[in-house]
A and B are shown apart, each in its own frame.
Chain A
Amino acid sequence: VCIHRVRSCSSIHFIKSKYVCVFDKSALKFSHQQRLFRTSAVSCGQIVQFKLSDIGEGITEVTVKEWYIKEGDSVSQFDSICEVQSDKASVTITSRYDGVIRKLHYSIDDIAFVGKPLVDIEIDASKGVAPEEDVVETPPMSHEEHTHQEIKGHKTLATPAVRRLAMENNIKLSEVIGTGKDNRILKEDILNYLAKQTGAILPPSPKAEIVPPLRKTETVPAAPKDKARKIPVPVSRPIAFSGKDKTEPVTGFQKAMVKTMSAALKIPHFGYCDEIDLTQLVQLREELKPLAELRGVKLSFMPFFIKAASLGLLQYPILNASLDENCQNVTYKASHNIGVAMDTEQGLIVPNVKNVQVCSVFDIAVELNRLQSLGSAGQLGTSDLTGGTFTLSNIGTIGGTYAKPVILPPEVAIGALGKIQVLPRFNGKGEVFKAQIMNVSWSADHRIIDGATMARFSNLWKSYLENPASMLLDLK
């Protein structure tokens, strides 16, 4: 720690001796006038050539590999400027100054030389010579005010990092009590000020810096040393949220979804919902699960839903069709390639199980397992993701009851399955019993599908699932 202090002192000394002559009264006057206009773009700062320092091991040249800043960016002391490489060593070059980058002397992949200029940094005049030291700043004023007010020589001392924190929280430094040397405003003072405003304890800053409690309790209750400064009366003032909006381009999976859903908009959707009593199916699955596990396969409800859908499609093939662009022809697809919506880390993906019409429930389970593991590993192939003719979305695994699914073109129907809930229902004898109820929400293309067809298909699908034994009769 002592070393740290000494280092910063010596660097200040170094800068002072070289540049102190520049900051005479005339320079100050100029910047004084500039404050009236509250602009920060133009400043008559000194341009310093920041040279590439010694890398060690007798190395004289390195390759510039990446710039972290560009011309015009503001940097603070210790900010990373670039990454250079020399013989298997990657070196992060950090800035020695606060200022604005005015020139990069090298492009990516250029050879840079130790001791030669790397970047030109314009040290901001109004910020003073030595970074991390006191910074002179005036309280913010409105444009109208400047003609009526004179600067009263009101100095507020704070480091650039502290000033940034104050600015982010819309705090006037003049209203903050400084507890540092010469009434310098420290970061703790800003945090205290904010805490007083809201009466809350603020969480510690995300960096590893820990605010020592000792200093705070000792110095805060002390009376302000500067008589001219008043302690502001705490007015209920909302803390300005310092988060910023983030805009990024739509790419990848999101882009795919945008394309699909925009195309789906052209389809006039209608919905049809129902509830299914899965009590018997739940029992059946319990019995079959261990059998499937013996064969190394995880058996969920989906294979049953999928197979039942395929049986239904045999009776109502129009739901497994496709309407051409001009709505002139309907193509009845021979294969039942039933898509299963999957939620992966990257987003929504819909692989399909091919030819369900000739698959057993077990075959479907095997295929689902394969698609699921490929899907989570991000390794699904194009054949898995194309050729779908009908889709089921088991949103119930996440939650929800009824939904309004969107048809995936070029298909004409889709079903969303809600979660299975245990609900009271009446049986044939008028008794209340525990039923395993799941809701289904169908959407279909109203250009070629009518409500009656959808309803009948749904009833058939429902009957297979409510009475699984009936599936045996129609299995091919």
Chain B
Amino acid sequence: MVLQSLKNCLWLSCVLRTPKACFWSTASGGLIIQSVSNDVYQNLAVEDWIHDHMDLEKQQVLFLWRNSPAVVVGRHQNPWQECNLRLLRQKNIKLARRRSGGGTVYHDLGNINLTFFTSRKKYERMANLKLIVKALKALRPQLDVHVTDRYDILLDRQYKISGTAAKLGRTSAYHHCTLLCNADKFVLSSVLKSPYKGLKSNATPSVPASVKNLFEEDPSLTSEMLLDAIAKEYAMQHQIDHHINLINPADETLLPGISNKTKELQTWEWVYGKTPKFSVSTCLNMAYKDSVLDVKVNMDVKHGRIEGCHIDLPEQWLPPGLYSELVKSLTGSKFCPNETTSLVTTLLRVCPQDDELHSRWSLLCENMIMLM
């Protein structure tokens, strides 16, 4: 029945020649949807889809979603500056870049995400956050939660339980935020600590904060309870049915074009390539034979690719031809350990087969790769 009215809606909107589609019945002024997927890319793609295709003038949307372990950086941030990429790779934690601004967050199933979609004119973050606080207090009146003027929600006046970000387009806007229910704080703090030194960039920095799970305050709380409470409050404020519609972000019929959006969010060019220009200026301490070499390295990275590279090696430590080959190979390549490994190991194939040379080369390259 829902599907039929959806088709009619889609049809109507076509004739009127706008690319926006109206989803379900236009009778109500609000819609609550929840994703059945825990894939961060799919869920971010749903946000994109709603932002690009839904007419939010008449109907506002609340989107509820949760992700399996992932780190999400803001639109204009530098992943190398924000998190421990090595640890992410080891632990198979995904890295995503969202389209809204703001800082870096860690998601897992103990964290719930809420997105408030409105028309551009009705964009109002404070009201949304106050709605959440109202819902939390209705659920557990003894909770000491309040909204700060930085759009954070604090528990007990000191612990951050929610961070906010927003995206504004020409006609629509969304404000999304996290809510820590029962996330793994240990993993959170370890992945959000960057080991990379010597990075200089104008990327938006994150503001670290002490966090706490709502579960720690009240062990009877679950993610489901919180989602439900917030949905109820939203329904009340928008005078709509307290009904959560489940959507599948993989459904191309319901959300035409969603798989392309999902794919785009996973590309290297988006996740890493959108990093604002930055430079790496550091010193490698290489233990070689009986001494320790201090090697200064300077690299410029633009669109995630190495634009310029200079390594201050002791003279003749490497044959000069090989050094220039290394720099030439690195220039234009992704600032990525996998790609760099492939390039440097290839270069070894075509240089003199000398054990001493090989061990120096390996030492230098391993240290360089550690920077990425």
Write the residues of chain A forming the contact surface with B, with a CB cutoff of 8 angstroms.
Answer: 1, 3-4, 55-57, 65-66, 78, 83, 85-92, 94, 108-109, 207-212, 214, 249, 251-253, 255-257, 259-260, 263, 322, 324-325, 331, 346-347, 349, 377-383, 385-386, 408-410
Contacts and interface: CB of A to CB of B under 8 A. Distances in A.
Given A66-B76, A90-B74, A377-B89, A349 B353 contact: no
Given A83-B76, A379-B338, 9 more contacts: A1-B13, A1-B16, A57-B124, A65-B276, A66-B274, A89-B168, A108-B277, A208-B257, A253-B339
B349 A260 contact: yes
B5 interface: no
B166 A90 contact: yes
Contacts of A91: 167-169
B345 A251 contact: no
Interface of B: 10, 13-19, 21, 53, 57, 74-76, 89, 92, 99-103, 120-121, 123-125, 151, 164-170, 173, 202, 204, 256-257, 274, 276-277, 305, 329, 332-334, 336-339, 341-350, 352-353, 358, 362, 365-366, 369
Contacts of A260: 346, 349-350
A56 B120 contact: yes
B364 to A, nearest CB: 10
Contacts of A86: 101
Contact of A255 (B15, B256, B329, B349): B329
B322 to A, nearest CB: 12
A34 B329 CA distance: 49
A92 B164 CA distance: 18
A252 B15 contact: no
Nearest to B163: A88
Contact of A252 (B102, B339, B349): B339
A99 B139 CA distance: 55
Contacts of A211: 14
Given A89-B101, A259-B346, A252 B16 contact: no
Given A255-B343, A382-B365, A408-B349, A209 B166 contact: no
A213 B127 CA distance: 43
A207 B257 CA distance: 8
A378 B152 CA distance: 37
B19 A251 contact: no
B350 A88 contact: no
Contacts of A380: 338, 341
Contacts of A66: 76, 274, 276
Given A252-B333, A252-B342, A379-B338, A83 B75 contact: yes
Contacts of B74: 88, 90
A168 B146 CA distance: 57
A256 B337 CA distance: 14
Contact of A89 (B21, B100, B103, B352): B100
Nearest to B274: A66
Contacts of B18: 1, 4
Contact of A385 (B166, B274, B341): B341
B366 A382 contact: yes
Contacts of B358: 386
Given A88-B165, A92-B169, A108-B276, A210 B14 contact: yes
A325 B321 CA distance: 15
A347 B168 CA distance: 38
B168 A251 contact: no
Nearest to A4: B18
A88 B332 CA distance: 31
A64 to B, nearest CB: 10
A55 B166 CA distance: 12
Contacts of A209: 14, 17, 19
Contact of A208 (B21, B169, B333): B21
Contact of A381 (B166, B341, B343): B341
Contacts of B21: 208
Nearest to A331: B353
Contact of B333 (A85, A255, A322, A379): A255
A354 B277 CA distance: 40
B369 A56 contact: no
30 contacts: A1-B13, A3-B57, A4-B18, A87-B101, A87-B151, A88-B74, A88-B102, A88-B165, A89-B165, A108-B202, A109-B202, A209-B14, A209-B19, A251-B332, A252-B342, A257-B346, A259-B329, A260-B346, A263-B349, A331-B353, A377-B89, A380-B338, A380-B341, A381-B366, A382-B341, A385-B345, A386-B345, A386-B348, A386-B358, A386-B362
Given A88-B103, A377-B89, A214 B341 contact: no
Contacts of B204: 85
B338 A346 contact: yes
Contact of B123 (A3, A56, A349, A408): A56
B17, B347, B365: which has the most chain A beta carbons within 10 Å? B17
Given A1-B18, A90-B76, A90-B101, A251 B334 contact: yes
Given A66-B76, A263-B349, A409-B349, A88 B151 contact: yes
Nearest to A411: B349
A385 B347 contact: no
A462 B139 CA distance: 74
A256 B125 CA distance: 49
A381 B123 CA distance: 48
Given A210-B14, A324-B353, A88 B166 contact: yes
Contact of B99 (A90, A94, A212, A378): A90
Nearest to B101: A90
B123 A65 contact: no
B276 A88 contact: no
A471 B310 CA distance: 52
B102, B164, B345, B365: which has the most chain A beta carbons within 10 Å? B345
A324 B350 CA distance: 11
B333 A251 contact: yes
9 smallest A-B Cβ distances: which pairs?
A88-B102, A1-B16, A90-B101, A89-B166, A385-B345, A256-B346, A378-B338, A91-B168, A210-B14
Contacts of A377: 89, 92
B89 A409 contact: no
A383 B100 CA distance: 40
Given A377-B89, A382-B344, A85 B76 contact: yes
Contacts of A325: 352
A212 to B, nearest CB: 5
A205 to B, nearest CB: 11
Nearest to A90: B101
A331 B17 CA distance: 73
A65 B75 contact: yes
Contacts of B100: 88-90
Contacts of A379: 89, 337-338
A76 to B, nearest CB: 13
Contacts of B256: 208
Contact of B332 (A249, A259, A386): A249
B353 A208 contact: no
